[in-house]
Amino acid sequence: MSEHDTAQDTVKVTREIPGITTLRLNRPEKHNAFGPALMQDMIDTLETLKQDVGTRVLIITGEGRSFSAGADLNYMKSMIDFSHEENVADANRLARMLECINHFPCPVIAAVNGHCIAGATGIIACSDIVIAASDARFCISEVKLGIAPAVISPYVVARMGVHHARRFFLTAEIFDAETARRCNLVHEVVPPDALLVSAGQFARAMLRNAPDALDETKTLIRRVAPVHVDPQVREYCCELIARLRAGEEGQQGLAAFFDKTEPPWLPGEDE
């Protein structure tokens, strides 16, 4: 696989070093926001790569200036015209994408460039090693838009812990890479121009380890410290985001974002 080989339109796959595959989210003009096409391309690509004997370590990063802006808000705004069942099916697509990353048999390294917003924090929480550029910025922003970080919550809470999740889920504040490291979302913070170099160093180090042992060790970790995402939890999370984003607050929040106006729940100046 050469540096020019691609997977689907919204996902770019390259292999410059034998054994190390790089998967780039490839909607740079949309800050790699994921709509249905990107999520399905990710699922299909990950399912293919897990059978690929040439992939022993996977690096996930973003093409362009951002890792990912999370869900495509234009698409989410259109959800008001979808049935509840269609909304739930779409949420299940995100859940499936995260499961594919979380259960990928080889080590997964997330190399976070630029912004990592909302649902994108789910991707890094499902990765085994997370390296962030020092200028990367993070935000679990859903409540600002009148929705909730539902589908990503089992993975992000497991990674950050309840203590940090309570703060960042509820404040929707922007935080830097060092704060993300202190909150256990990120393992290493490096200069921006060293991001992929550092990811490559981790990947090459893991190539020295036995591939079956790495797979079994990932399974071991999931067994002894499971993420709480059983079928009932998954159903609850998907139903919740489907209801909220098609509901009044969700649509008001998304409309305010696009219209660059204040959402109706903000207190008035005299309050």
* Banded model confidence at residue 72, pLDDT cuts 50, 70, 90: very high
**CATH architecture assigned to 11-196+203-224:** Alpha-Beta Complex (3.90)
pLDDT digits (tens, 9 = 90+) for 24-54: 999 999 999 999 999 999 999 999 999 999 9
Given a cut of 50, whether residue 132 has pLDDT beyond it is: yes
22 by DSSP, 3-state: which? strand
Angstrom distances, CA of residue 95 to CA of 44, 150, 230: 14, 10, 11
Q: Provide the pLDDT for residue 261.
A: 94
pTM for the structure as a whole: 0.93
Give the pair of three-digit tokens for residue 161: 């812990």
Mean pLDDT for all residues in the chain? 93
Identify the residue whose tokens are 């909150």: 183
**What is the radius of gyration, based on Cα positions, of the chain?**
18
* Banded model confidence at residue 270, pLDDT cuts 50, 70, 90: low
Whether residue 164 contacts residue 260, with contact meaning beta carbons closer than 8 Å, is answered with no
8-state DSSP, 144: G
What is the CB neighbour count within 10 angstroms for residue 257?
17
**C-alpha span between 82 and 115 (Å, rounded):** 29
Burial (0-12, 13-18, 19+ Cβ within 10 Å), 243? middle
Identify the residue whose tokens are 């997370």: 130
∠148-232-84 over CA atoms, to 5°? 55
